[in-house]
Amino acid sequence: MQQSIESKGKNDLIKIGRVPVGPGQPTFIVAEVAQAHDGSLGMAHAFIDAAADAGADAVKFQTHIAAEESTLDEPFRVRFSDQDSTRYAYWKRMEFTAEQWAKLAEHAREKGLVFLSSPFSVSAARLLSNIGMDAWKVGSGEVRSEELLDEMGKHGAPILLSTGMSTMDEVDQSVARVRNKGLPLAVLQCTSSYPTPFEKVGLNVIEEFKHRYRCPAGLSDHSGSVYPGLAAMAIGADLLEVHIVFDRRMFGPDVPASVTLEELRLLVEAKTAFHTMFQNPVNKDEAARDLERMRTLFMKSLALIRDLPAGTLVSEEMLTLKKPGTGIPKSEIDRIKGRRLKRDVSSNRLITWDDLE
């Protein structure tokens, strides 16, 4: 399975909207709102402004249509409120109309953001396709939803595959399904724990995905901390998705797994820093030449350990090393030993050739 998947990989680089994603590019940062808007359309728009202000590349939501994806039998993952009697009622409260989704997408694009939303039913995918999607984010729980993958695959946009609940064999199968449609692909390491403890983040899987599938790979993080995102970028993640909240005192099931807007801004700043470092490898010899003036300031030259009068026969015991490195180097000590001083020489100055007979 792995060999056939690799052989169908066309190019490591993909485009999400106009943004190239993959080798040699800055990490593509997705600000995931998910359900943090708590059913408020105004709050959803506010998150778009905040994500743009923080410098994210994309803002992402989740598109739920309760009647198409759930039943009254669905239990709560975390029962966090008495407002919703059932999980179904919660999804119902999270719904926006097609027109409202279109306005959210328009707002995001006006702010220079890529608009993304994960559909959780075929109907949701069709609603989003009418808006026009630059990429399709497949949630961890939908990796095996073949009919949903097929619907998203009809529209030609890249597939961003999250893998939080999948075995490697299941990821193989989903990747093969996407590749058989000739679609651009990125795969994200994810652990569906909220919040995810550091020991379960799985940074090692990012590199494994890159080699296994020959495509951009990254991290969808639920730790509620900036550290996994920073570490992922430091090892070359092509994409990073983090849940966001205005404040950790906000209401909702994803708050413990989210970063604040200030932390998102930090991740965006780090993205630029990491990209600059990756794109500018250093040659140590060239760096040393560039720092020649600094080298002379910090290196040392030969000097006397005490003031000595003219006529003194210089021995090795009389010599020491002091800054700066603009004088006689230690390697020349044998040429100084046994020679006489032709004038008084202070220990507060470097000894020079002109001081010697």
CATH of the domain at 331: 3.90.1210.10
Pair (188, 314) in one structural domain: no
What mean pLDDT, rounded, does the chain reach?
91
pLDDT at 8 exceeding the cut of 50: no
For the chain, the domain total comes to: 2
Classify residue 12 by its DSSP letter: S
Pair (245, 295) in one structural domain: no
Pair (59, 151) in one structural domain: yes
Pair (151, 25) in one structural domain: yes
Pair (40, 130) in one structural domain: yes
Final residue of a structural domain among 278, 298, 324: 278
Specify whether the CB–CB gap between 23 and 12 falls below 8 A: yes
Domain, as residue range, for 96: 2-278
Cα 172 off chain centre by: 24
Pair (219, 334) in one structural domain: no
Pair (14, 150) in one structural domain: yes
Q: Which of 105-119, 133-147, 264-278 has the lowest mean pLDDT?
A: 133-147
Final residue of a structural domain among 247, 278, 309: 278
Rounded CA-CA distance 164/154 in Å is: 24
Pair (158, 187) in one structural domain: yes
- Given pLDDT bands bounded at 50, 70 and 90, which one contains residue 1? very low
- Given pLDDT bands bounded at 50, 70 and 90, which one contains residue 73? low
Q: What angle do CA 93, 225, 184 make, to 5 degrees?
A: 70
CATH of the domain at 160: 3.20.20.70
- Given pLDDT bands bounded at 50, 70 and 90, which one contains residue 332? very high
Pair (237, 301) in one structural domain: no
Specify whether the CB–CB gap between 131 and 101 falls below 8 A: yes
pLDDT score for 11: 52
3 or 74, greater pLDDT: 74
Residue 170 identity (one-letter amino acid)? E
Rounded CA-CA distance 199/186 in Å is: 24
Specify whether the CB–CB gap between 228 and 219 falls below 8 A: yes
Pair (18, 161) in one structural domain: yes
Question: Where do the H-state alpha helices sit in the chain?
Answer: 2-7, 41-54, 66-69, 87-94, 98-110, 122-131, 146-153, 168-180, 203-213, 227-234, 261-278, 284-290, 292-298, 333-336
Q: Bridge partners of 62?
A: 118
Q: Which of 45, 46, 51 shows the shortest CA–CA distance to 32? A: 51
- In terms of Cβ atoms closer than 10 Å to its own Cβ (0-12, 13-18, 19+), residue 173 is middle
Provide the whole-model pTM: 0.85
- Residue 232 CB neighbour total at 10 angstroms: 27
Pair (239, 290) in one structural domain: no
Pair (239, 346) in one structural domain: no
pLDDT score for 293: 87
Final residue of a structural domain among 232, 259, 278: 278
Question: Where do the H-state alpha helices sit in 18-97?
Answer: 41-54, 66-69, 87-94
- Given pLDDT bands bounded at 50, 70 and 90, which one contains residue 3? very low
